[in-house]
Copies of this chain bind each other. A is one copy, B any other.
């Protein structure tokens, strides 16, 4: 059969990182290429208790159909939490539960993008989101990420030049893959530019609670007087990714369409996952758990940066210090062959992600690679970074 695929999916290719992760799953390989939470990060004991309790006290609630908008107690808990902690939310806003933040990208793209419409993103950006936007045949236009976030002159130019621009996708906190946090000034500027151009913003904030240094910067959603920001949150990095639970907040008029899309995709999010999150947020020390995670990852982030400073930076590779999140972005010196560098690293059984995987077009020039410090053990991290340093010493002039 010669399949007549839709135009949307014709050019789709498997996620490049997944292919890398396949070779990284060899037990002899040190993987700095994943984005998984540390095995120590899961509140296993609490989840065991909650699961036992909800299946004893309310099994039908766990097992029967739920509503597409999500488990109402969790929706209420999150609305209150976002309001109190982040100053997000209001009478014109609606919050629904989704099956992981990935679903926010899919639903938002479907609701707002016609094929050929332009989505503006950071360059580099999260490849999982980019692939979703690609699957709706959106045209992706990247804007350079600087140490304080997107280059705003470039963003303005891109908006001016692309009348079909419909959305801006941004990860303002500890961006994946660059590790960059957008400054307050740039967040305000981005909002003003989007408003002036009648463009929606997807504010993706999966790592916001994982800040190790410095002060929180207000979410773009806190400026959203016009109702143009879709705010996306996730339980993947703070409770568990395997449960597939996240949430989105958007103006009611936009959410009405998005709920229909959500319903068409999976009817509703797994009830067990939603109930686990609600019980954990309301009956356990959720803030204490976040503190624990921050401590756990601060140690790992510190170790990673110390190792980089000691073994890698002296041989010509640069990186920016991070304030949070799970990733560090390393730049090879100009003229170095990044793909060859990553390939040689893999031959030495250390996996990182070549930076071009995070670009709107992976054939664009890129001299960077991404490393993750949350998944490897301290020993693996140490060995891996020493190996990066050795290779840099050998081949970088």
Interface positions of A (Cβ within 8 A of B)? 1-9, 12-15, 18, 36-37, 39, 42, 44, 47-48, 51-52, 55-56, 59-66, 68, 99-100, 102-103, 105-106, 110-115, 117, 128, 131-132, 135, 166, 198, 200, 226-228, 236, 240-244, 251, 253-254, 256-257, 259-261, 263-273
Q: Pick 26 A–B contacts, CB within 8 A, sort by A.
A: A1-B226, A1-B228, A4-B112, A4-B166, A6-B111, A6-B113, A7-B114, A8-B110, A14-B260, A18-B263, A39-B64, A42-B59, A47-B55, A47-B59, A47-B63, A63-B242, A64-B241, A100-B266, A102-B265, A105-B264, A106-B264, A128-B264, A243-B270, A243-B271, A244-B268, A265-B266
B263 engages A15 (CB within 8 Å): yes
| Nearest CB in chain B to that of A62: its residue | B242
| Nearest CB in chain B to that of A256: its residue | B14
Provide the residues of chain B in CB contact with A106, threshold 8 Å.
264-266
B66 engages A102 (CB within 8 Å): no
A42 engages B65 (CB within 8 Å): no
* Beyond known contacts A51-B51, A51-B55, A64-B241: 5 more, CB 8 A cutoff: A3-B112, A6-B117, A102-B265, A106-B265, A244-B270
Best-buried of A266, A271, A273 by chain B (most CB within 10 Å):
A266
Provide the residues of chain B in CB contact with A271, threshold 8 Å.
242-243
B6 engages A114 (CB within 8 Å): yes
A1 engages B227 (CB within 8 Å): yes
Given contacts A3-B254, A64-B36, is CB(A264)–CB(B56) below 8 Å?
no
Distance A238 CA – B251 CA, assembled complex (angstroms): 37
Given contacts A55-B47, A66-B242, A263-B15, is CB(A135)–CB(B112) below 8 Å?
no
B111 engages A9 (CB within 8 Å): yes
A64 engages B102 (CB within 8 Å): no
Q: Smallest Cβ distance from A178 to chain B, in angstroms?
A: 21
| Nearest CB in chain B to that of A137: its residue | B114
Provide the residues of chain B in CB contact with A2, threshold 8 Å.
198
A272 engages B55 (CB within 8 Å): no
B135 engages A264 (CB within 8 Å): yes
A131 engages B8 (CB within 8 Å): no
A242 engages B64 (CB within 8 Å): yes
Provide the residues of chain B in CB contact with A260, threshold 8 Å.
9, 12-15, 131, 135
Best-buried of A55, A113, A200, A264 by chain B (most CB within 10 Å):
A264
B243 engages A63 (CB within 8 Å): yes
Distance A65 CA – B52 CA, assembled complex (angstroms): 22
Distance A1 CA – B272 CA, assembled complex (angstroms): 36
**The 4 A-B residue pairs with the shortest CB-CB distance in the complex, in nearest-first order:** A63-B240, A242-B271, A132-B264, A99-B266
Q: Smallest Cβ distance from A364 to chain B, in angstroms?
A: 21
Distance A56 CA – B48 CA, assembled complex (angstroms): 8
Provide the residues of chain B in CB contact with A251, threshold 8 Å.
1
Q: Smallest Cβ distance from A71 to chain B, in angstroms?
A: 10
Given contacts A12-B260, A263-B131, A270-B244, is CB(A6)–CB(B112) below 8 Å?
yes
Provide the residues of chain B in CB contact with A272, threshold 8 Å.
242-243, 270, 272-273
Best-buried of A65, A114, A128 by chain B (most CB within 10 Å):
A65
Provide the residues of chain B in CB contact with A111, threshold 8 Å.
5-6, 9
Distance A253 CA – B135 CA, assembled complex (angstroms): 17
| Nearest CB in chain B to that of A12: its residue | B260
B65 engages A241 (CB within 8 Å): yes
Provide the residues of chain B in CB contact with A7, threshold 8 Å.
114
Distance A272 CA – B47 CA, assembled complex (angstroms): 12
A4 engages B198 (CB within 8 Å): yes
Best-buried of A1, A2, A117, A241 by chain B (most CB within 10 Å):
A1
